[in-house]
Amino acid sequence: MKTVLIGVTGCVAIYKACEIVRGLQKAGVRVKVVMTDHATEFIQPALFRALTREPVAVGLFDDAPGDPIHHISLAKEADLFLIAPCTANVMGKIANGVADDLLTTTAMATTATLAIAPAMNVNMYESAANQESMRILKERGVRFIDAESGYLACGDIGKGRLADPDDIVAFALELLQVKQDLAGKRVLITAGPTVEPIDPVRFISNPSSGKTGFAIAEAAQERGAQVTVVSGPVSLSDPAGVEIVRVKTACQMFDAVAERFDGVDIAIFTAAVSDFRPVDVAESKLKKGNANGALTRIDLVENPDILATMGAHKRTDQVVVGYAAETEDVEENARKKLVAKNADFIVGNLAGDGRAFGTDENEVVLVDAAGETRVGPAPKRELADAVLDKVTMVFAERDPGQLL
């Protein structure tokens, strides 16, 4: 997940920083805030702390638990340092190498892209000193989203008003190279294992960790999609901004998916669903040596095939993606599954011997009617974007104007 450090300075436009924080969060970006002392005269740090659920940095010598050199850690943590709103005072200090508070020392220390959204009175904005500060910073590679013209808080009319928060968010996302190609799309993902009880203490399951499904959920949310994950039992933190529907059994997962399938544009089935479940579930623990041999013979019944059922009912404007974990002949088995399940493509991967299940990296092959594409070895988060890139290609092939 990308991290944006927002620098907030003492300016009437500071209230718009709250909208910028929320806009970035909706795009799946982690946001942290550093404030100048003057900024706290307008808004207390508690507001940004509530919005970001992160500590808010203010004083250069404030205690930061476990972090004796706070401006260095903040500088290293940021993928983008965005100062919005930025006053003429702070801009001048950065341009001239003055580092006398936490915000300016962090700006001096960061190697991340530094971006500035100025906001001030028109005469201050147009002053020779401020224009020189902007020129110097631009020459050093600082990126600017310029102030707008209009009615200013002081009553004057002219250039100096902070750019629209939506434009600042879009500007930041572009600098972060965060795609928004799934904006407006609704994505349904299954993840993790299913658990089929035998008795109150035993069950049939598999070692799926849910990492692949959760990585795709995080990536899709960052790319603008509205994401729902139907997950079996996993030990993972919920991706920010993603709806999680928790289930245990294959039948519960089937019902949750069937209820939502018609309302989504994209369905990605990564879950390792148990193929069978016990016909009868004992109400008490089965004992070894039972006369009826209850533990030596367990009658099974086949679970509903979620991918095949949804694939058979998919609309022409939906994209359905299946996963195939195989111990051998990955491409051949994935291609059989592609046809049998009526999917748009299958993501095949080699499982067993410590591969695929529970790992942070994987190697996959994307199989569709046109051929095969190998991806990896790579982190599962990177593979998630490769899968979503393939999804956007399917949409584009159907209707080139559907996705930009």
Q: What's the pLDDT tens digit per position in 345-354?
A: 999 987 766 6
- Which part of the chain has CATH 3.40.50.1950? 3-176
3-state secondary structure 153-171: CCCCEEEEECCCHHHHHHH
Instruction: Look up the pTM and report it.
Output: 0.67
pLDDT of residue 135: 93
pLDDT of residue 404: 45
pLDDT of residue 326: 80
Residue type at 211?
K
155-184 confidence digits (pLDDT tens): 778 788 899 999 999 899 888 877 778 988
Is domain 3-176 annotated with CATH 1.10.274.100? no
Residues that are catalytic: 154
pLDDT of residue 2: 83
- Which part of the chain has CATH 3.40.50.10300? 186-398
pLDDT of residue 356: 66
- pLDDT-flagged residues of the chain (< 50): 403-404
CATH class of 186-398: alpha beta
Residue type at 8?
V
pLDDT of residue 127: 94
Specify which residues 361 forms β-bridges with.
379
